[in-house]
Amino acid sequence: MDVIKTKQKLSYNKDQRKSFLKNDTLEKHNSASTEEKPYECELCFKTFNQKKGLQQHTKRHTGKKPFRCEICFKSFVANRNLKVHNMITHSKVKPYQCEICLKSFYEKRYLKRHTITHTGEKPYQCEVCFKSFFEKGDVKKHTITHMEEKPYQCEICFKSFSQNSYLKAHIRKHTGELQYQCEMCLRSFSHKSILKSHMRIHTGEKPFQCEICFQSFSQPGSIKPHMRIHTGEKPYQCEICFKSFTLSGHLKGHTKVHTREKPYQCEICLKSFSHDHHLKKHMRVHTGEKPY
């Protein structure tokens, strides 16, 4: 029997004292160590520490879905998304269970995030002002507020900004000037990026997708509150009865139970309600409408 000997060139990182079989493995390791994310998406500006991550992410915007489920034939952008889909839809297996409330999760990271809702732990702390956060990404965003130089100051309210363009956009709030106008509804905006975001209302574009249930959103800020459905996180707590909510709007609506505030009044019989949808439902008494 012939014995074939193969040699694989090792890329060596002396600082970390680790060997890697491939250069891209070394690149991945170095990126993870430095947390550098040099690859940026040109559409939504999300950054990645590897080129492969950016390439895979870009497929979400192009609409390409090369990974298809063999059971229901639904297609996905990434193989990881397909695996999660199979686990959620077809296997119904949730191997990671919370020891406190027994709620189960598909992935360990979601269990870890959920557990914080019971402990109240905020493990990530700002090194400057010592403010604590639930997630690592939140402390990163917060830290920028300390690091940024803000040489551009508003002469009206003295608020400072890191870039001149931010100052110009801010001044429009004082002057009432709205430079960027939507060609479809003629609504005007103070900044180009706000107009771009607004245009998705007309185009129906939803480029931001939940990695668990694949629901899409038009705004990046919608994903974080949506994720609380999966994690069970309820960060907004009532100071009177301590009931918790996933959204600040839900807490605001709940507070009316304690204040007995009823700002929504029927124009026909003058009966008042604490919520808008209660008034709409009541109006059917007068209109005779039967929606069901």
pLDDT at site 92: 65
Q: Label residue 291 by pLDDT band (50, 70, 90).
A: low
Question: Would residue 61 count as lying in a domain?
Answer: yes
Q: Stretch 262-287: mean pLDDT, rounded? A: 85
Q: Are 178 and 172 in contact (CB under 8 A)?
A: yes
Query: Within 13 Å of residue 162, how many CA atoms lie on the same side as its CB?
Result: 6
Tell me if 54 is assigned to some domain: yes
Is residue 7 very low, low, confident or very high in pLDDT (cuts 50, 70, 90)?
very low
198 domain-assigned: no
- Mean pLDDT (the chain) is 75
Contacts 24+ apart (CB under 8 A), 68-74: none
Q: Is residue 82 part of a domain?
A: yes
pLDDT band at 30 (very low <50, low <70, confident <90, very high): low
**Looking at residue 128, what is its pLDDT?**
73
Average pLDDT estimate for 122-129: 78
The mean per-residue pLDDT over the stretch 224-251 comes to 83
Q: What is the band of 63 on the pLDDT scale with cuts at 50, 70, 90?
A: low
The Cβ-side half-sphere exposure at 110, using a 13 Å CA radius, reads: 19
Number of compact structural domains in the chain: 1
- Tell which residue, 285, 262, 266, 283, has the closest CA to residue 274: 262
State how far the Cα of 240 lies from the Cα of 283, in Å rounded to an integer.
31
Which among 178-182, 189-193, 233-237 has the top mean pLDDT? 233-237
pLDDT-derived band of residue 13, with 50, 70 and 90 as boundaries? very low
- The pLDDT, as a whole number, for residue 74 is 79
* Cβ–Cβ < 8 Å for 20, 29: yes
pLDDT for 90-114, tens place per residue? Answer: 766 678 888 888 888 777 877 887 8
Integer angstrom CA distances of residue 215 from 127, 218, 252 = 36, 11, 26
Taking the CA atoms of 250, 254, 255 and 256 in sequence, report the sign of the dihedral they define: positive
* CA separation for the pair 67, 50 (Å, rounded): 21
pLDDT grade for 23, boundaries at 50, 70 and 90: very low
Q: What is the pLDDT of residue 252?
A: 84
Report the pLDDT averaged over residues 66-85: 79
How far, in Å, CA of 14 to CA of 8, rounded?
Answer: 18
Distance CA 24, CA 2 (A): 32
Q: How far is CA 262 from CA 64, 111, 129, 237, in A?
A: 49, 39, 40, 21
Asked, for residue 49, whether it belongs to a domain, the answer is yes
Q: Give the pair of three-digit tokens for residue 7.
A: 């040699």
Annotate 166-175 with b (16+ C-beta within 10 A) or e (fewer): bbebbbbeee
> For the domain that residue 72 is a member of, what is the CATH number?
3.30.160.60
Domain range for 49: 41-90
The residue-averaged pLDDT of 211-220 equals 82
Confidence of residue 20 (pLDDT cuts 50, 70, 90): very low
Q: Please check the confidence at residue 241 and state whether its pLDDT lies above 60.
A: yes
Full-model pTM: 0.37
Note whether residue 161 is domain-resident.
Answer: no
Which residues on adjacent β-strands are paired with residue 124?
133
pLDDT of residue 17 exceeding 50, the answer is no
The answer to whether residue 46 sits within a structural domain is yes
The answer to whether position 233 is within a domain reads no
